[in-house]
């Protein structure tokens, strides 16, 4: 019988509605999941650990580091790890774990629910059973198990706040699909040897969505206040304003201050080509770094990890080099650098 570590961090799956307001709040974790879902006993031997009990809207980077440290310390004693997590920040956590745990030889599976486990009509039961089953498969990646699929964690994003199929990975096919049988994709990463755990991460980053009328002075004020890295969600394949309200001078200022500016696309499909239009080409000349076809979640968390590990005095060079390589399948390199 496979052995799984299930780590509870909170989220809707274990929430209850307040008796008066009906607002969902984190519940006291008193119920035995195996009592609620006895079928899990047929999947694996499960050890449960309560690490946090948070609405995922309250998850912070230090929670990622603590979670990653526990997984790194315990994973060799198990065939896989399941992390129960809220859906709102799940893609951020999955991406962060991927970069904090680059050496994996077995699955780390995040799951959660759009409706609480103890409601009559819920997606929690299926998601939990699927996640535990996937955690026993030869899929040595951090992934999100939702709606009978496993998505690569650093490629996934939450696209639906209402439907039960909440997550998608527009530019990377699922790693696992569960139907009448189990389909494991050919692009699953091979097992990697675990090294020493590195907890360094720098959360002093800013994400800005480009829009008509964005005042560059606001980004300049962020630079002056001490931001260490910026992700710009640009138009289309990476275009930014270069005439009125031009962002090019502020990108140049950031570059001069050794503050990396990473450009990703606002579009769920497609990637960045900084040499296609005048605005994006000027941004590249000013020092902007292409994020290729990475999700915003992956770009932000990768930037945090690279900033935390950058050698002193070589921040810009180190981060730019890191974004030229796909460390864990988080982007399509030939799309980002044609």
Q: How does pLDDT run across 216-249, given as a tens digit for each residue?
A: 999 999 999 999 999 999 999 999 999 999 999 9
Could you list the active site residues?
12, 87-88, 158, 277
pLDDT score of 32 more than 70: no
∠ CA 325-329-334, rounded to 5°: 55
pLDDT score of 25 more than 70: no
Q: Name the CA radius of gyration of the chain, rounded.
A: 21
Q: How large a percentage of the chain has pLDDT more than 90?
A: 78
Contact assessment for residue 79 and residue 2, using Cβ atoms and an 8 Å cutoff: yes
Whole-angstrom distance, CA of residue 55 vs CA of residue 72: 24
Q: Return phi, psi of residue 318, to 5°.
A: -65, -45
Among candidate residues 223, 73, 88, 72, the one with its CA nearest the CA of residue 167: 88
CA dihedral 65, 66, 68, 74 (to 10 degrees): 160
- Provide the whole-model pTM: 0.93
Strand bridging mode 157-158 / 149-152? unpaired
Domains of the chain plus CATH, in order, are 3-184 (3.40.50.1170), 205-336 (3.40.50.40)
**Residue labelled with tokens 């004693």:** 77
pLDDT band of residue 338 (cuts 50, 70, 90) is very low
∠ CA 28-19-117, rounded to 5°: 50
Residues in the chain: 338
Provide the pLDDT for residue 163: 87
What tokens does 295 get? Answer: 């999700």
């Amino acid at each position: 019988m496979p052995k799984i570590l299930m780590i509870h961090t909170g989220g809707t799956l274990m929430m209850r509605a307040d008796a008066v307001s009906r607002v969902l709040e984190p519940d006291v974790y008193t119920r035995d999941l195996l009592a609620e879902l006895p079928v899990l006993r047929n999947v694996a031997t499960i050890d449960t650990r309560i690490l946090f009990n948070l609405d995922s809207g309250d998850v912070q980077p230090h929670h990622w580091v603590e979670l990653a440290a526990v997984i790194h310390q315990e994973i060799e004693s198990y065939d896989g790890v399941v992390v129960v997590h809220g859906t709102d920040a799940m893609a951020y956590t999955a991406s962060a774990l991927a970069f904090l745990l680059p050496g994996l030889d077995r699955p780390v599976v995040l799951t959660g629910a759009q409706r609480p486990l103890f409601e009559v009509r819920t997606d929690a039961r299926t998601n939990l059973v699927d996640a535990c089953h996937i955690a026993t498969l030869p899929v040595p990646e951090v992934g999100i198990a939702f709606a009978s699929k496993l998505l690569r964690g650093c490629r996934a994003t939450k696209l639906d706040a209402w439907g039960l199929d909440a997550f998608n990975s527009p530019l990377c096919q699922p790693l696992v699909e569960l139907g009448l049988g189990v389909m494991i994709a050919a692009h699953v990463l091979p097992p990697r040897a675990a090294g020493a755990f590195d907890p360094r991460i720098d959360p002093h980053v800013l994400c800005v969505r480009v829009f008509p009328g964005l005042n560059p002075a606001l980004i300049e004020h962020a630079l002056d206040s001490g931001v260490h890295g910026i992700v710009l969600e640009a138009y289309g394949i990476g275009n930014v304003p270069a005439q009125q309200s031009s962002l090019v001078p502020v990108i140049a200022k950031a570059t001069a201050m050794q503050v990396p500016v990473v450009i990703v696309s606002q579009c769920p499909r497609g990637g960045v080509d900084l040499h296609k239009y005048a605005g994006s080409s000027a941004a590249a000349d000013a020092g902007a770094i292409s994020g290729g076809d990475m999700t915003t979640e992956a770009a932000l968390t990768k930037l945090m990890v690279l900033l935390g590990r950058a050698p002193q005095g070589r921040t810009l060079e180190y981060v730019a080099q890191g974004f030229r390589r796909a460390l864990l399948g988080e982007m399509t390199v030939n799309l980002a650098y044609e």
